[in-house]
Structure 1
Amino acid sequence: MERSPNRPIILKKPSLPEAAHYVVAFSGGSDSAALLHRLAHYPPLNNKLSAIHVNHQIHPDSDQWAKNCTRQCQQYGIPCVVKVVNPKKSDENSLREERYKAIAQHIDSLPGKTCLLTAHHLNDDIETLLFRLLRGTGLNGLTGMTAYGDYMGINIYRPLIDTPKSLINQYLAEHNILWLDDSSNRDTSYDRNYIRHKIIPAFSHLRPDALQRIGDTRDHLKNSLALLEQLIGNHNPFTVNPDFSKQTLTTMVYHWLTIRKLTPVNHKRLLSFTSACLSAESDKQPSLKAKQYVLVFWQQAIYALRPNLLTIDSRQTHRLTVHSKIFHWHHEFGRLSLQSRATKLKLTVKFNVRGEKIKRPGHKHHQRVKELLRETGVPPWQRQRLPYVYVNDQLMAVGQLQSDHWQQWLTAHEAEYDWQSTNFLL
């Protein structure tokens, strides 16, 4: 452990979100050591605060670090949980994923709403911004981290995100706080470490207020992003103006997805999809499949759909026996309801039936179901997921579309039939 030079400073009181419990991500490094000390001496958190340390088993001193972190928490009277992980890879992204998996499992075991507190500070945020800038990024990437976040379902708050590293170092010295020193943090062969130890000091040498000015730029970009998100909106589907250029539409769909907390695919795939949307004939529905969603273009709009519903085999047959006056049948694609005086009725339900015709009430002739569904505006992804309801091999209904014979039967038996489709939209 190291001790920093002595310069007095006090970190401001944290403005924390409402939660039943707060968990500090405690690595034992200087930043989390400062945060833990500040929170341990913050009376409103009495009996609500704990810490978690994740042992990645990468460094030879990993086990000793875990013991030191536990000991430090004991000195503050704060419970500390140590989680040991076995990462398959040692790169930064893999370690982060394993770390947050362990944290998520721990938080899930706690009662009530829990908030994870991390020690990310202004320098960290600027490092992230510069790192993304060097890799190539858009407006979202240039806004850096936010005070409030969500990762793997964890509510995250970063109370030090606007605090420069220099103030944290002064706080450590003022309170004689010890911390763990990981020598790998000084290895400038890693991009982030190079930015931290070479580029940011060069900026500060050029202008003493460089970090604050970059922070101001970050905040201006956040305001611009907030305005853009407000203009784009959160509606599903997203209406496409045919006069958009493909680059404009690609940018708007990218931000629309992020607003809906859906991870956009890479720029090349998204550009290919939006280009197809702008050039599609009226009978075509370009689509894009991602892990979280499926995008489908239909009637001048882009729909974000639930992929799990679209992957279910729709070639199904179900034989149902109605044995009560109130009958409900639940399916992944929706819910069928029948209320009737008849308590004995056998139904056969099929999906994705081809070539069927139906005679609607008030019509003289049968019509093709496929054409009727298209005329009534049923979205294409729902057409093959509507129930074809048969009685004695005679088609009675397709979803809410009812036959003349079925309506007569319903009237004769003082019955009500209903089909409520599952919401396919995300």
Structure 2
Amino acid sequence: MLMSEKNNRFGPDALRRCLPQDKPGGRYLVAFSGGLDSRCLLDALLKSAPAYEVVAIHVHHGLSANADVWSRHCAAVCHQAGVRFIEEKVRVINTGKGIEDAAREARYAAFARHMETGDHLLMAHHADDQAETLLLRLLRGTGAKGLEGMSQQRAFSSGIIWRPLLGFSRAALEIYAGQQALHWVEDESNADSRYDRNFLRNNIFPLLNERWPDFALRWQQTATHVAETNQLADLAVQQVFPSLQPRPEKSGASINVSVLQQYALAERNALLRYWSELLGLDAPGAQPLAILHQHLQQAQPDHNFELCWGGAVLKRFQQRLYLYSNDAWQNLQVITPGQESTWDLSLASHHQIPVFAGMQLCFEAVNAAGADGCLAARYPHIRIDRRQGGERSHPHYRAHSQTLKKLLQASDIEPWWRDQIPLLFSEDGQLLAVGDLWVEKSAMAAIGEPGWRIFWRETANSV
């Protein structure tokens, strides 16, 4: 049934029905600004006889001259109600996305510091807030995911964010606050229509409300319907995605280009967005997707192809697309001096040696080598460096030596990794191994002899 203002009454019983029914212990942390919304949430929560400890967290942004007054008000409310009160003072740094985004990032970082396993962070966003979010996203050209608006729940830190007020309008909260004689603080910045949300709240929504009094509740229902439709679409994409032969790489991940090209345009877009989000990266928008599809249609693909969006970088090599986080990609572009220090290898321990581009060499002791190319244990001291040009190499699986440059070109290693490959040398300058690609024939452990199995991998679990 369509929710309207008539059946939109807010109170402890209504709130109880909107709280999680299967909460596995933990606490309720209330994001408590002291404004109308969070004041109603805290009051109704306490009157609903919660089964879990309630903790109020107030974030002091320091952006208003009244910030100290608001903090004292929140502390007094909690003291009177017998609720544990936590004040978090944060420093808001505008990194170019605007002061609103900077304050939001600082606020969520503060909340995360207090989350414990099983905790639910209750946020006081209501239907009018959701309407603002939806309209702002529409104005920015959002896709189907954006039309979900704010989710009622999502994983956050070691717990869950829960928004139990999304089905209630601000008007319903105002009625409840009046009935309970609640007092709250008003943020004077809410009157400043230079901010996008305030412009909608102060200038646009009053006009909409005159014509369609329950428009915010209707929009919330639309967001719910879109979220359900997106869930079905996501299930379909998840079933198809393995056909792209996804695999983790030394850094980032890759998929098969030829298989991707077999799908229709809409399917390719959905698969690429899913892949990006699976790796914790921003999904590509319409423009980068159009550029990629134009590239895929070329008879002779550009092997220097590079596409960036948000914090993601997409590259192509042969028949695979490689996706990196911007940080991981930047690590690959930095050519630092080689490691001139000498490392001691002892078969009694496992060794992890940091090298270049956020990578490390791992040495795993092998008591009896097979035919898979282990480094012989007769080299107790090694030196690690980059290729300088002109090196020759004789991989253990080849009959003859060749220049390292040509060997790498003939290998399946991506071009952007070739200057970052760690070369292992003995104390007297003999080349022993090329990363974990191959061991030199002269340095290979004989079958049955002790040796080292080498792995060249990321130091951290970044994309």
- TM-score range relative to shorter protein: 0.7 to 0.9
**Mapped contact 1:325–1:343 kept (Cα < 8 A):** no
1:320 equivalent among 336, 343, 346:
343
How far has the Cα of 1:119 moved from its partner?
A: 0.2
The match for 2:433 is 397
Deviations 1:264-322 (A, max 9, x none): 57654564455445548467142245674432222333222253442453652443333
CA distance in 1, matches of 2:301, 2:91: 52
CA distance in 1, matches of 2:92, 2:462: 36
How far has the Cα of 1:132 moved from its partner?
A: 1.9
Deviations 1:39-94 (A, max 9, x none): 22344454x321122334444433322222111111211122233445467x9942
SS of aligned partner of 1:213: helix
5 Å matches for 1:85-164? 85=90, 87=92, 93-98=98-103, 100-102=105-107, 104-105=109-110, 107-108=112-113, 112=117, 114-149=119-154, 155-164=160-169
CA distance in 1, matches of 2:222, 2:108: 32
The match for 1:337 is 364
Question: Structure 1: any 5+ residue segments left out of the alignment?
Answer: 1-6
TM-score (normalised: structure 1): 0.80
CA distance in 1, matches of 2:208, 2:33: 28
5 Å matches for 1:271-286? 271-272=290-291, 275-276=294-295, 278-279=297-298, 281=300, 284-286=303-305
Deviations 1:179-202 (A, max 9, x none): 223454345554323433443344
SS of aligned partner of 1:396: strand
The match for 2:332 is 310
Distance 1:402 1:178, change over 3 A: same
**Mapped contact 1:52–1:103 kept (Cα < 8 A):** no
CA distance in 1, matches of 2:227, 2:315: 30
The one-letter amino acid paired with 1:385 is Q
The match for 1:178 is 183
CA distance in 2, matches of 1:24, 1:219: 23
How far has the Cα of 1:145 moved from its partner?
A: 0.7
The one-letter amino acid paired with 2:440 is S
Distance 1:274 1:380, change over 3 A: farther
5 Å matches for 1:138-287? 138-149=143-154, 155-188=160-193, 190-233=195-238, 235=246, 236-240=253-257, 241-242=260-261, 253-264=272-283, 268=287, 271-272=290-291, 275-276=294-295, 278-279=297-298, 281=300, 284-287=303-306
Distance 1:405 1:259, change over 3 A: closer
Question: Structure 2: any 5+ residue segments left out of the alignment?
Answer: 1-7, 247-252, 368-375
The match for 2:69 is 64
The match for 1:25 is 31
TM-score (normalised: structure 2): 0.75
The one-letter amino acid paired with 1:108 is R
Moved more, 147-156 or 180-189: 147-156
1:416 equivalent among 440, 444, 451:
451
Task: Tell me, yes or no, if structure 1 residue 40 matches structure 2 residue 46.
Answer: yes
Deviations 1:175-228 (A, max 9, x none): 332222345434555432343344334444434543333223222322333334
The one-letter amino acid paired with 2:136 is F
Moved more, 277-286 or 213-222: 277-286
SS of aligned partner of 1:237: strand
Q: How much is the aligned-residue C-alpha RMSD, in angstroms?
A: 3.8
CA distance in 1, matches of 2:254, 2:144: 23
Deviations 1:138-159 (A, max 9, x none): 2222221111246799852212
CA distance in 1, matches of 2:191, 2:229: 35
**Mapped contact 2:15–2:48 kept (Cα < 8 A):** no
**Mapped contact 1:229–1:259 kept (Cα < 8 A):** no
Give percent identity, aligned residues only. Answer: 25
**Mapped contact 2:347–2:365 kept (Cα < 8 A):** no
SS of aligned partner of 1:162: coil
How far has the Cα of 1:383 moved from its partner?
A: 3.6
The match for 1:74 is 79
5 Å matches for 1:3-14? 9-10=10-11, 11-13=14-16, 14=18
Moved more, 123-132 or 367-376: 367-376
Query: Paired residues, what number?
Result: 416
**Mapped contact 1:52–1:80 kept (Cα < 8 A):** yes
Deviations 1:71-128 (A, max 9, x none): 1111211122233445467x99424523542552464256555443210011211111
